[in-house]
């Protein structure tokens, strides 16, 4: 129930205005977002690399409906690519197609994303297309396939285990030899397209993980769910699949203990590092995933607020 409310609020412009203008909200968001500037993302990437974690940098933004803003977003990604190359970071980028012009027109999207892919290819950097709500699934896969047929190979896509269609999509991507990130799915979807029960999503996740591990091209197993991680480790061990053949992926600020533990156990782990001013919908999806995060945020806001200070809880007094 709380999940539905939070996902609904993630799309509300009134709630966005209220939250993003609330004092201290952006400080509290820092748990899940590296900061607002490119250099905040680069700093986080550097620190994570030092801990043996690879990174995917995400310049936050989605549902952009004018060309100027979509071009400006792509320009920021170009800067990120340059900074990754300059600092020789173990990092790639993730982009959302609705931030790059998917809702404007396909020719524009192709040109705007093409600029990113050219720059990334020149620096040998991989670009992942995040997957958004189910209204975009087919268009995103079609666009991906178009780029693939044009010879682009530094690209990968995301498949969400909660969608009924995902097994067929994965089989088609495996045929292409394309790289897939498997996640459970973060959007509010109707039962006509997605499994409503967590148990069924998890079962599908394991089924899809197995296909990707045996037939896929360097899949990314993106989850914080220890049961999914255990299933992946067990399956890889049973089939003799080396740890270099896949990677785990987790979100910035989520289960940092597990990230470290997997690295210690010899697994490859990549952390998805979001940065930018448009953190509101991303943050709401993270809150929806774990109701305890709402309490965490409320506590952080309270601690930093004048009320928190009055109560003797602010500014490091405890």
Ligand X SMILES: Cc1cc2nc3c(=O)[nH]c(=O)nc-3n(C[C@H](O)[C@H](O)[C@H](O)COP(=O)(O)OP(=O)(O)OC[C@H]3O[C@@H](n4cnc5c(N)ncnc54)[C@H](O)[C@@H]3O)c2cc1C
> Which CB, 235 or 314, lies closer to ligand X?
235
Letters for 15-54 (x = contact with ligand X by CB under 6 A, - = none) are ----------------------------------------
- Token pair belonging to 168: 């067929």
Known active-site residue 130: yes
Catalytic residue of the set 58, 103, 130, 169: 130
Choose, by CB under 6 A, the member of 38, 60, 116, 250 that binds ligand X. 250
Opening angle at CA 183, ends 171 and 109, nearest 5: 75
Letters for 263-302 (x = contact with ligand X by CB under 6 A, - = none) are ---------x-------------x--xx--x---------
**Angle formed by the axes of helices 198-215 and 226-239, nearest 10°:** 30
Catalytic residue of the set 179, 181, 268, 286: 181
Per rule CB under 6 A, is residue 252 in the interface with ligand X? Answer: no
Residue 37: CA count within 13 A, CB half-sphere: 3
Choose, by CB under 6 A, the member of 30, 43, 110, 224 that binds ligand X. 224
Residue 118: CA count within 13 A, CB half-sphere: 8
> Which CB, 298 or 311, lies closer to ligand X?
298
Counting residues that bind ligand X (by CB under 6 A) gives 23
Choose, by CB under 6 A, the member of 222, 236, 269, 283 that binds ligand X. 222
From the number of C-beta atoms within 10 Å of its C-beta (0-12, 13-18, 19+), residue 167 rates as middle
| Site stretch for ligand X (CB under 6 A), options 111-119, 145-153, 163-171, 247-255 | 247-255
Per rule CB under 6 A, is residue 184 in the interface with ligand X? Answer: yes
Known active-site residue 181: yes
Residue 290: partners with Cβ closer than 8 Å, 6 or more residues away:
none
List contacts with ligand X (CB under 6 A). Answer: 130-131, 158, 160, 183-187, 222-225, 249-251, 254-255, 272, 286, 289-290, 293
List, by residue number, the catalytic residues.
Answer: 130, 181
């Amino acid at each position: 129930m709380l999940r539905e409310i939070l996902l609904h609020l993630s799309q509300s412009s009134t709630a966005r205005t209220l939250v993003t203008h609330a004092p201290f909200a952006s400080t509290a968001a820092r748990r899940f977002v590296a900061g607002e500037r490119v250099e905040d993302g680069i700093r986080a990437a550097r620190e994570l690399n030092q801990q043996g974690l690879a990174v995917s940098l995400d310049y936050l933004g989605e549902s952009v409906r004018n060309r100027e803003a979509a071009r400006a977003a792509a320009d920021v990604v170009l800067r990120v690519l340059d900074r990754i190359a300059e600092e020789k970071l173990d990092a790639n980028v993730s982009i959302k197609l609705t931030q790059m012009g998917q809702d404007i027109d396909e020719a524009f999207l192709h040109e705007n994303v093409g600029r990113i892919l050219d720059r990334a290819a020149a620096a040998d950097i991989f670009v992942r297309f995040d997957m958004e709500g189910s209204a975009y699934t087919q268009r995103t896969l079609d666009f991906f396939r178009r780029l693939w047929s044009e010879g682009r190979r530094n690209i990968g896509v995301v498949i969400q285990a909660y969608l009924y269609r995902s097994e067929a999509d994965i089989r088609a991507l495996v045929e292409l030899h394309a790289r897939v990130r498997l996640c459970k799915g973060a959007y509010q979807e109707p039962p006509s397209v997605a499994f409503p029960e967590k148990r069924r999503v998890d079962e599908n996740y394991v089924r899809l993980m197995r296909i990707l591990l045996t037939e896929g091209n360097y899949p990314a197993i993106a989850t914080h769910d220890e049961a999914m991680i255990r299933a992946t480790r067990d399956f890889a061990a049973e089939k003799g699949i080396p740890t270099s053949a896949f990677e785990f992926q987790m979100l910035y600020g989520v289960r940092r203990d597990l990230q470290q533990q997997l690295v210690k156990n010899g697994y490859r782990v990549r952390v998805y590092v979001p940065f930018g001013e448009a953190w509101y919908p991303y943050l709401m999806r993270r809150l929806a995933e774990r109701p305890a995060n709402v309490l965490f945020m409320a506590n952080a806001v309270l601690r930093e607020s004048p009320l928190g200070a009055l109560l003797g809880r602010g500014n490091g007094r405890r």
